[in-house]
Amino acid sequence: MSSSTVSKLDALIGLSTAKNVVRRLALDERGIHAILLYGPKGSGKSELAKIITQMWLCKEPNETGADDICRACMAYHRGNSPDVLMIEPQGASSIIPNKAITNSSPDKQDTLIPLLTFFRTSPMFSRHKVAVIRDAHRMNDSSSHALLKTLEEPHPHAKLLLTTDTVGSILPTILSRCLAVACEAPSEAEIAAAFPDATVEEIRFAEGTPGRLSTVLSRRELYNRLLRFAENLPNRKPGEALVASEEFQAIVEKFQSANDTGVRAANTEALDALAIYFARDPSCPPTWTQQIIEAHRRIIGNGGAAIVLDALFTGLLS
């Protein structure tokens, strides 16, 4: 493969099956117009999607991959390629709406380019046009069914990449029309070799995936504070529920400052980590994880964070 592609693949931890697929694509991509990359958060799906995107864009690829120097590759590196469309979940509910796929009811105020419109024209200076749908499981029913049109009748120049953490939420009709590639988490030995200073608890928070572990380590002090909170929570009395809620919200504020994101995103990250911790704690009551997941769902659904968290910790400690 080209030295650039080789170095990018070598930098990814684990993913042996997925890497083999990329290598084979470099040799022969005929008949492959849609790929679904699935696996846990932080497993490397996004990085693989970038590598495949560039291979499909490259104007002068060879049997080893993208040449990394053509006009299409350089535009992709600059982040201004007109032949790439990124589609991501939108709004407080993190949904990929129908308007992201088709402009059946266009809004003049909306600058979003729908997928079907994007694919109607030929590439400007790349070999293919590439659309990437991140978190494809967040498509609603109408957008999922609209996507089938492109998958059933693809344009010769159109290439589609989807990523998902929950492949079971993807419509079977979409799955059957994509090359589904598993992005498995690396082994414990691979993680230990790549992150020798990571603690057992930090690896637990990251669920053993390199992407999430990099995030945890970059916010080590925050996650250590969350760890101490989680370790002490089972020993607290019911009357301390609101105090626990206030302490957790103080931790969330630190997450918000560190991430430079909204309070909803900070709440969901902290709740996600808390659920992961208790799911792997044998001394934890079995209902706790489900209650935390339900609070996570309510906050994503635009529920008032303070009310949801007060109810959560009251329920956990009751």
Nearest to 133 by CA among 123, 119, 153: 119
> Which residues, at least 6 apart from 137, have a Cβ–Cβ distance to it below 8 Å?
164, 165, 166, 167, 169, 170
pLDDT for residue 4 is more than 80: no
Domains of the chain with bracketed CATH: 3-182 (3.40.50.300), 219-317 (no CATH)
Specify the pTM.
0.83
What is the mean predicted confidence (pLDDT) over 127-135?
95
- Out of 91-100, 158-167, 171-180, pick the least confident: 91-100
* Cβ proximity of 166 and 24 under 8 Å: no
The band of 3, judged by pLDDT with boundaries at 50, 70 and 90, is: low
pLDDT at 35: 95
Closest CA to 163 of 132, 196, 202, 206: 132
DSSP 100: G
- pLDDT tens for 56-74 read 999 988 777 788 899 999 9
Least confident of 135-139, 278-282, 288-292: 278-282
Q: How much is the mean pLDDT over the chain?
A: 88
Q: Which of 83-92, 99-108, 113-122, 225-234 has the lowest mean pLDDT?
A: 99-108
Q: What is the pLDDT of residue 109?
A: 58
Contacts of 251-259 with C-beta under 8 Å, sequence gap 24+, read 251/222, 251/225, 251/226, 252/305, 254/222, 254/225, 255/219, 255/222, 258/219, 258/222
Residue with tokens 């994503």: 300
Residue 108: is its pLDDT beyond 70?
A: no
Which pLDDT does position 281 carry in this prediction? 83
Do the beta carbons of residue 144 and residue 114 sit within 8 Å?
no
Q: What pLDDT is stored for residue 5 in this prediction?
A: 74
Least confident of 88-97, 125-134, 224-233, 286-295: 88-97
Question: Rounded to 5 degrees, what are φ and ψ at 63?
Answer: -70, -5
**What band does 264 get if pLDDT is binned at 50, 70 and 90?**
confident
pLDDT at residue number 92: 67
Q: What is the pLDDT of residue 110?
A: 61
**Residue 204 clears pLDDT 60, i.e. is over it:** yes
CA distance 133 to 89: 9
Residue 1 has pLDDT above 50, yes or no: no
Percent of the chain predicted with pLDDT > 70: 96
pLDDT of residue 104: 62
